[in-house]
Amino acid sequence: MKIVTLCRPCAEKLGTAYDLVKIITSAEKDTCAECGRRRYTNKYRVGGLKSAGKEQ
């Protein structure tokens, strides 16, 4: 598992393909690891790929 700093739009985009778990911290102004923009970000733990055919 990898911990990355992401802005909300990037977290929502990556959340469709990967298992993301938000680490409980306050939002702070930082550079997003995905888009490179300076925005309010949170830290997320990125897991494996989500299965496309998996039903819950």
Look at residue 30 and tell me if it is in a domain.
Answer: yes
d(CA 30, CA 48): 25
Structural domain of residue 45, as residue ranges?
2-49
Look at residue 43 and tell me if it is in a domain.
Answer: yes
Q: What's the pLDDT at 54?
A: 55
Look at residue 54 and tell me if it is in a domain.
Answer: no
Domain count, the chain: 1
Look at residue 32 and tell me if it is in a domain.
Answer: yes
Count CA within 13 A, CB hemisphere, residue 36: 0
Q: What's the pLDDT at 25?
A: 81
Binned at pLDDT 50, 70 and 90, residue 55 comes out as low
Instruction: Tell me the pLDDT tens digit for each residue of 7-50.
Output: 999 999 999 999 999 998 888 899 999 999 999 999 999 988 87
Cβ(6)–Cβ(39) below 8 Å: no
Look at residue 56 and tell me if it is in a domain.
Answer: no
